Amino acid sequence: MKRILVMIVLCTVIGCGFSGAGPKKYTELEFKKQIPWPRYKISTTYMENGVRFFLIEDHELPLIKVDIEVKGGRFLVPKGKEGLEYILAQMLRLGGCDKYPGDRLDLFLEDRAAEFSIDFDFINGSIEVDTLKNDFTTIMPVIIDVLSSPIFTRDKLELAKQRLKTIISRRNDRQDEVGIREFKRLIYGRDSIYGRIPTYESVDNITLKDVGWLYKRIFVGSNLLVGVVGDFNTREIEPVLKKWFSVFNKGEEIRFKFPKVTSPQGKRYIIDTQDTNQAFVVLGHLGDYRLNPDFAALQVMNLILSGGFSGRLFENIRTQMGLAYSVFGNFGCKRFYPGVFFVALKTKNQSVYQAIVAVKKQLKDLKYNGCTEKEVEDAKDQFLNSLVFRYDSPKKVLERRLYYELRDMPDDSFDKLINEIRNIHAKDVDRVAKKYLNVQGLDILVVGDKSKLDELNKIGKFDNWHLD
């Protein structure tokens, strides 16, 4: 059989008239040096009312995208009014403005194939507008109108509340959604500013006045970072943008100050989802800060532990043991408050105990035995060789810039990180693994059918974690 194959291969080669240019094994290949990626130029302008602009031209397609990042988000919402930031986002989008109330706004945009969305996260909000080049100057004034003089009506408040209550009623339907959310609450404290979530009661408490208050606190010039990318001419567009955004008052810039986090250690909880044949398991503890000098080494540790198909968790828990389809983790670092370190997986009821033991073994192994120089080199190659994808579109470059700007970080933060990662060695990863991984102090949350998980007793007692 093998010989026949060889003959066919030979015939084809001869038939095609190629002299000796047969398939090569990957080890025989030599590659040209990676072509340097284009460095897209970002023009920045600051207005007197505090609005900051970041513009990148990109003429490939006739599109213009605007990404407005606003300082202020969920962390501003007072206790007892949880869900307010969601209601504000919905009402801005549903209500529209004087000239274009909600439904007319939708028609206006969709007749022009334009997109407009508003979302709030913990520290910030994102407003995204995506228009065809030719419609940009027609559409943007309307968007500015919506953002600077929105219409908040009782009717739309009721609709937004109804939607949020429906979402609340459904938020416990999926194990992974429950597990990720409740593990964060376990780490940060369920009633802390980081852990609070909307309830029917808190939604009922929200008034039009509250919505107006949050809107006014956030939508001032000092909080607005405006990114624009697409098919435009910077010199032409800049004065127009400035004119549009001059309607915002300067206001008071939101300062990011957050309470200290006190996190439990070594706690074990279970959330009972009856009649499920698979459980969602999360293990972890508090992470660290983005400005920590060990950040670069921690990123390499992340790659070794859980980077794509090459990470240790994937290799051991999935490929070799066949315990899970989905296994992932990350040592999280946040700019203003500590992130979360976690490992999560989904496995059948019968192997939950085995999987927890296996994850702990991996973490212990990394912490006490460290990693090899080859692992570090491979992880660094993975990071450095794929860097081109971090720069492969002006939109990504702009997004990163806005990310740093919002967090008061220097605009060369990413370049610095790259250089730091270049200089990481096994000993650095070993050191941070030892320092930051706390295997004894791991909190564990299991979301699964309690009646089928008796084996968990071998680890210890699991208390019930109740859902809101």
400-437: b or e for each residue (b if 16 or more CB lie within 10 Å)? Answer: ebbbebbbeeeeebbeeeeebbeebebebbbebbeebb
Question: Token pair for residue 360?
Answer: 């702990």
Q: Based on CB atoms, which residue is closest to other proteins, 22 or 78?
A: 22
Contact flag: residue 386 with other proteins (CB under 8 A):
yes
Contact flag: residue 308 with other proteins (CB under 8 A):
yes
Judged by CB under 8 A, which of 239, 253, 291, 325 binds other proteins? 325
Q: Which of residues 235-294 bind other proteins (CB under 8 A)?
A: 273-278
**Contact partners, residue 319, CB within 8 Å, separation at least 6:** none
Contact flag: residue 314 with other proteins (CB under 8 A):
yes
Task: Give least dist CB 263 to other proteins, A.
Answer: 29
Task: Give least dist CB 155 to other proteins, A.
Answer: 10
Q: Based on CB atoms, which residue is closest to other proteins, 171 or 290?
A: 171
The residue range among 261-269, 319-327, 408-416, 430-438 that interacts with other proteins, by the rule CB under 8 A, is 319-327
**Contact partners, residue 31, CB within 8 Å, separation at least 6:** none
Contact flag: residue 22 with other proteins (CB under 8 A):
yes
The residue range among 126-134, 186-194, 402-410, 459-467 that interacts with other proteins, by the rule CB under 8 A, is 126-134
Judged by CB under 8 A, how many residues of this single chain contact other proteins?
Answer: 88
Q: Which amino acid is at 209?
A: K
Q: Do 75 and 253 touch, CB atoms closer than 8 A? A: no
Contact flag: residue 46 with other proteins (CB under 8 A):
no
Q: Which of residues 211-230 bind other proteins (CB under 8 A)?
A: none
Q: Which of residues 146-165 bind other proteins (CB under 8 A)?
A: 159, 162-163, 165
**Half-sphere exposure of residue 109: CA atoms within 13 angstroms, side-chain side:** 23
Site string for other proteins, 71-100 (x = CB under 8 A): -----------------------x------
E strand segments, 188-267: 224-230
Judged by CB under 8 A, which of 348, 367, 407, 425 binds other proteins? 348
**Half-sphere exposure of residue 148: CA atoms within 13 angstroms, side-chain side:** 17
Q: Which of residues 50-69 bind other proteins (CB under 8 A)?
A: 60-63
**Contact partners, residue 134, CB within 8 Å, separation at least 6:** 62
Distance of alpha carbon 319 from alpha carbon 373, whole angstroms: 23
Strand partners, 120: 125
